[in-house]
Amino acid sequence: MWVYVLTGIVSVAIALLLVRLTRISGQVNPETDPAKLKNSDSHLPASERLQKIINEEVGKVAGSAQRSREIGNLITNVFTDELNQKIEQNKLELRQKYEAVIERKTENEAIAWKKYKKIINEKKQTEAVIRSIAQGLVVVDAQGKVVMINPAAEKLLGVSRQDKVGKTLTEDMKEEQLVSLSLGSPDKEEKEIELISRQDETKKILRASTAVIENENGQTIGMVSVLSDITKQKELDNLKSAFVANVSHELRTPLVAIDKSLTLILEKEAGDLSQTQEQFLSIAQRNLKRLSALINDLLDLSKLEAGKMEVRRKSLAINNVIQEVIDSLNNWAKAKNITLEKKIEDLLPDVEIDPDRLAQVLTNLVGNAVKFTPNDGKITLEAKLSEGKKELEVSVKDTGIGIAPEDLPKIFSKFYQCGGGRMISDVNGTGIGLSIAKEIVELHGGKIWVESEKGQGARFIFTIPLTSG
């Protein structure tokens, strides 16, 4: 019974309390009633103000001051307990959130540490591989300053990593150390570096294969060069070239004598010949001419490799050279019923060329086309200006057996045998025709390449720079 009474009193007190609070908030306005504000209990803590208001309101209901204080304390305790529970609950939630954040942070730090260790291990492995490779490796940044150099490169260049990192490769190098850092065309991916030491009078030749390093945006951020010592290879090449040149010269004189003797016999200067004798002598002379062509090609190749081939340039129209080659090979093409077509762009300017050497190039290209084009095929010789109008572009296109993709990179190598039986040769079958053609075109400052698919024919293209002015 007492509990119901107490509950009713508490309910009434709370209702009165809310009404009183509403009245106080409505009556007391700091801006309009300064006197009430001055006499208010706003200077007291919130808990004491709440206790005082509850006591006043409950006193009006309970009648006894002592009893009103007890009820007021009870109500205050209820509010206080509820408030404390809320505070503890909020503290618990905050602590749990904080612990979750700490846990995630710890996990992220562990993941980051694992990634860091992995990167460090991979870096160490990469550095170990770079240190152990036999070829020299040099990495430079966009300003040309050395970022990395391995022990093999230090040995080949005669420098130390401590002295080179952060500097350009040629900085502080002695004059006798560096003779040339770019033997060959600067736009080539492969260059030769020649180093000479005056101290022991030795020469070292290195091959540098260079590649550009780009970032994800395609911007150049540096270059990497792989260095190989090709000194002994160069010495062997020089010995081979000298041997070939000497042998070729020694063979040329007796071959000329044999050819002239066969010519006299075939012309019946030494008496009549039977049909069989004439047939066999003609075969002998034909093969003798092929042998002479081989020797001439070997001599040309040795001159090109030694840099001793002369190019006698003169200004003339490319049409004249093309027509000369067509005339010389037309009978062979007709024997296979192959059409030789010429497409010359109108108003082409003259070019500075050696007509004999350029005719040699075209003879090799057209001869190969005739050789590997089936009967009733077609060969097209075309001359036009390049897209930039700075070069003359000449091409030989056939409808022959084509070239397999794996053979294309080696098409201009000496004596390279293509798959499917296509020999890299010239019209005389010497096997070095395209190699010589490439060297001659480059002597003229041009480039040569091939486009082909197996069974779809081939198109050989070369360019010659136009005359200045």
Domain boundaries, the chain: 1-132, 136-229, 235-306, 314-465
**CATH number of the domain at 314-465, out of 3.30.565.10, 1.10.8.60, 3.40.50.12780, 3.40.440.10?**
3.30.565.10
Residue 463 has a pLDDT of 94
pLDDT classification of 26: cutoffs 50, 70, 90: very low
Residue 138 has a pLDDT of 87
Q: Answer whether 227's CB lies under 8 Å from 136's CB.
A: yes
Q: What residues have CB less than 8 Å from 71, skipping those under 6 apart? A: 6, 9, 10, 13, 54, 58, 62
Distances (CA, A) of 31 to 20, 24, 41, 462: 20, 14, 17, 98
Give the tokens for residue 261.
């003797």
| Chain segment 153-165, per-residue pLDDT in tens | 888 887 888 877 8
How far apart are the C-alpha atoms of 132 and 280, rounded to whole Å?
A: 63
| Chain segment 416-449, per-residue pLDDT in tens | 656 554 444 444 445 688 888 998 999 899 999 9
Residue 271 has a pLDDT of 84
Is the model's pLDDT at 336 over the cut of 90? yes
| 312 DSSP β-pair partners | none
How far apart are the C-alpha atoms of 316 and 326, rounded to whole Å?
A: 17
- Greatest mean pLDDT among 169-178, 268-277, 374-383 lies in 374-383
| Chain segment 27-78, per-residue pLDDT in tens | 444 444 444 434 455 566 655 666 666 666 555 555 566 666 666 677 677 6
| Chain segment 93-119, per-residue pLDDT in tens | 888 888 888 988 888 888 988 898 888
Question: Residue 434: left if φ>0, alpha if ψ -120 to 50, beta else—which one?
Answer: alpha
Residue from 384, 348, 307 nearest 467 by CA: 348
Residue 344 has a pLDDT of 92
pLDDT classification of 14: cutoffs 50, 70, 90: low
Q: What is the mean pLDDT of the chain?
A: 78
Residue 179 has a pLDDT of 41
Higher pLDDT, 189 or 423: 189
CATH topology of domain 136-229: Beta-Lactamase (3.30.450)
Residue 362 has a pLDDT of 94
Residue 176 has a pLDDT of 41
CATH topology of domain 235-306: Helix Hairpins (1.10.287)
Residue 343 has a pLDDT of 93
